[in-house]
Amino acid sequence: MAYGRGVLEGISRYRIEKQPWSVQLDLRELMAGPPAWLNSWDGDGIITRELSPAMLEFIQDTGVPTINLGDIQNETSLPSVMNDHDAIGRLAATHLADKGLEHFAFAGFDDHLWSQLRLDGFRACLTERKVASSDSIHLHMSEWANASKHGWQDQQEQIVEWVRKLPRPIGIFACNDFRGQHILEACQTAKVSVPDEIAVLGVDNDHVLCDFCDPPLSSIIPAAERIGYQAALMLDQLMRGEQPSELHLRIPPLGIAERLSTDVLAIDDEDVAAAIQMIRFRACEGLTVSDILKEVPIARSSLERRFRQYLGRSPQAEIRRVQIKRACQLLRDTELSLVKISRLTGFKHAEYFSVVFKREVKQTPGRYREASRAKARKL
């Protein structure tokens, strides 16, 4: 899972920079209980997401310094570093409300503290913004165990039925990317258009999972590497007999990786909405304003005027925005050449792509790639 890998990268970075630790890494399901080898282990400290009763008993009996990264339940007896789930929920609410949506939903999991805290932040922010009351948010909650207890097919059918009954347009905040994938699959089954009828936002920014979704899933980016680094720092302090300045750190998210699943504005003009949908799906295929006018039968001047009314920019500028947004993603997340990226974003020539990119972003594509990766390394 992308979040777990990010946490491990943060721990590894601390080891490289500060301490040449010898590490025993054990990857297993949450709440599976402590590994058998732990009984004969002679270590100095633990960083764990495992908070089963047996694990807690071992930590209490041995007194070994331990940092808790687990957030399924409310365990406050151990020093902890984890996501600021309230901030994640508030960021989700802000993102969806800024799209002009008036209906909102949350898809989460019962009996998981982190899911409930994200819902609480989501509700609170929407209520404060006066765009939705706390009890008007449509909920779908289920236990992780449901998939194995009742069968995945049964659970997915419940989600499909829930999706069909939602008012539209609506923004759904999925508690993580896996839940977001479930919602998008349900929308396909229910023949609901995403993002025009339902916009979906996940959490964790698992690049592979998000890009495999149809359409690609927008996702909140947790500061996973920072969480791992801070956990290692706190453990180092405890092992040296020092008292950390704060025993329960909550780390806010880095932002949102916006993809197609939330690329929507609530617009009641059918012609403009149809044109925007064309641009969203075909801008990177070399779509032109003339192509739009062949399928949206209105005068060009009327289309231009109405685009400026709703979006504050022309149809051509919207095409460019979508192309450049996709180019930025490819530059950040892939090693593709500029020639390949220019073709994938609807430009016939890499030279012209570079000129347009620099004009819009104020950086060359190469400089943008370098700067975005340097920024990611510092986070």
pLDDT of residue 144: 44
Do both 105 and 197 map to the same domain? yes
Burial status of residue 147 (CB atoms within 10 A of its CB: 0-12, 13-18, 19 or more): middle
Q: At a CB cut-off of 8 Å and minimum separation 6, what does 152 contact?
A: none
Do both 196 and 316 map to the same domain? no
> Residue 289: which domain range?
270-378
Do both 290 and 339 map to the same domain? yes
Cα distance between residue 129 and residue 8, in whole Å: 37
Name the pLDDT band for 147 (thresholds 50, 70, 90). Answer: very low
Do both 190 and 275 map to the same domain? no
CA angle 211, 216, 217 (to 5 degrees): 100
Do both 166 and 109 map to the same domain? yes
| Range 217-235 average pLDDT | 96
CA angle 117, 119, 120 (to 5 degrees): 65
Residue 132 has pLDDT above 50, yes or no: yes
Residue 150 has pLDDT above 60, yes or no: no
Do both 242 and 294 map to the same domain? no
Cα distance between residue 4 and residue 332, in whole Å: 21
Do both 149 and 216 map to the same domain? yes
Residue 167: asked if its preceding bond is cis (omega within 30°), the reply is: no
C-beta of residue 251 within 8 angstroms of C-beta of residue 230: yes
Strands 66-68 and 104-108: unpaired
Residue 28 has pLDDT above 80, yes or no: no
Mean pLDDT over the full length of the chain: 90
**% of the chain exceeding 90 in pLDDT:** 67
Name the pLDDT band for 148 (thresholds 50, 70, 90). Answer: very low
Name the pLDDT band for 377 (thresholds 50, 70, 90). Answer: low
**Closest residue by Cα to residue 92 from 221, 181, 251:** 221
**% of the chain exceeding 70 in pLDDT:** 95
Do both 72 and 160 map to the same domain? no
| Range 223-250 average pLDDT | 95
Q: Mind spelling out the 3-state secondary structure of 214-249?
A: CCCCEEEECCHHHHHHHHHHHHHHHHCCCCCCCCEE
Residue 306 has pLDDT above 50, yes or no: yes
Tell me the per-residue pLDDT of 325-346, one tens digit each, with 9 for 90 and over. Answer: 899 989 988 899 999 999 999 9
How many C-alpha atoms does 121 have within 13 Å on its Cβ side?
22
* Residues in the chain, overall count: 379
Compare 379 and 214 and report the one with higher pLDDT. Answer: 214
pLDDT of residue 145: 43
For residue 60, the domain's CATH number is: 3.40.50.2300
**How does DSSP classify residue 101?**
-
Do both 197 and 234 map to the same domain? no
For residue 332, the domain's CATH number is: 1.10.10.60
Do both 180 and 242 map to the same domain? no
Do both 60 and 187 map to the same domain? no
| Range 170-192 average pLDDT | 96
Tell me the per-residue pLDDT of 194-210, one tens digit each, with 9 for 90 and over. Answer: 998 999 999 999 999 99
C-beta of residue 252 within 8 angstroms of C-beta of residue 87: yes
Q: CB 277: neighbour CB atoms within 10 A?
A: 16
| Range 153-167 average pLDDT | 90
pLDDT of residue 152: 64
Residue 48 has pLDDT above 90, yes or no: yes
Number of domains in the chain: 3
Residue 366 has pLDDT above 90, yes or no: yes
Name the pLDDT band for 31 (thresholds 50, 70, 90). Answer: low
Do both 211 and 275 map to the same domain? no
| Range 45-58 average pLDDT | 90
| Range 91-120 average pLDDT | 93
pLDDT of residue 273: 85
Residue 321 has pLDDT above 90, yes or no: yes
| Range 285-295 average pLDDT | 95
Residue 81 has pLDDT above 50, yes or no: yes
How many C-alpha atoms does 170 have within 13 Å on its Cβ side?
23
pLDDT of residue 378: 60
